[in-house]
Amino acid sequence: TDYNQMGFNLRSNIFQGGPLESRSLMKDSYTPDITQRVIRDPKNWHGRRTDELGKWHQKNALNLNLQKALQDKYG
């Protein structure tokens, strides 16, 4: 059956899994000093800036939390 065949494959180590050491294109492309002195800006990630829609959602979440806190406090 398929179950026995899968068990045989697992026992004989056909499914060896992923590599033990991962490689990165950035690490292979640049020298180590470039990756160490990079500045990570949370407002500009992967070349994308926080847009107006993202700012609106953030303000909306704060507003909803405030409304909920006021509702719990004053009923």
Q: Is the pLDDT of residue 72 over 80?
A: yes
Give helix then strand counts, H and E, for the chain: 4, 2
Tens digit of each residue's pLDDT (9 = 90 or more) over 52-63: 778 888 899 999
Tens digit of each residue's pLDDT (9 = 90 or more) over 4-53: 777 776 677 666 666 677 777 777 777 777 767 777 777 766 666 667 77
Structural domain spans, the chain: 1-74
pTM of the model: 0.37
Q: Is the pLDDT of residue 67 over 90?
A: yes
Cα 69 from Cα 30, distance rounded (Å): 49
Is residue 56 a contact partner of residue 62, using CB atoms and an 8 Å limit?
no
